[in-house]
Amino acid sequence: LNLNLYLYLALFLLLVGLFVHAHLKRRREEARRQDVHPEPGTEPQGPETEDRGQGE
């Protein structure tokens, strides 16, 4: 049985793993950055606090 193919597969999977890891890390960083400094128009909407029916 020729095991050479498994060496190439291991190397390829390592590269795919590094790519996925780096990609996910970048997305997490971007999400965190958006939480700290939300872009205009993307601020989270808080609960409605309309002064309705607060007496006459």
Interface with other proteins (CB under 8 A)? 1-5, 7-8, 10-12, 14-16, 18-19, 22-23, 25-26
Length of the chain: 56
Query: By C-beta, is 20 or 34 nearer to other proteins?
Result: 20
Minimum distance from residue 33 beta carbon to other proteins (Å): 15
Sign of CA dihedral 36, 39, 40, 43: negative
How far is the C-alpha of 12 from the C-alpha of 18, rounded, in Å?
10
Query: By C-beta, is 12 or 38 nearer to other proteins?
Result: 12
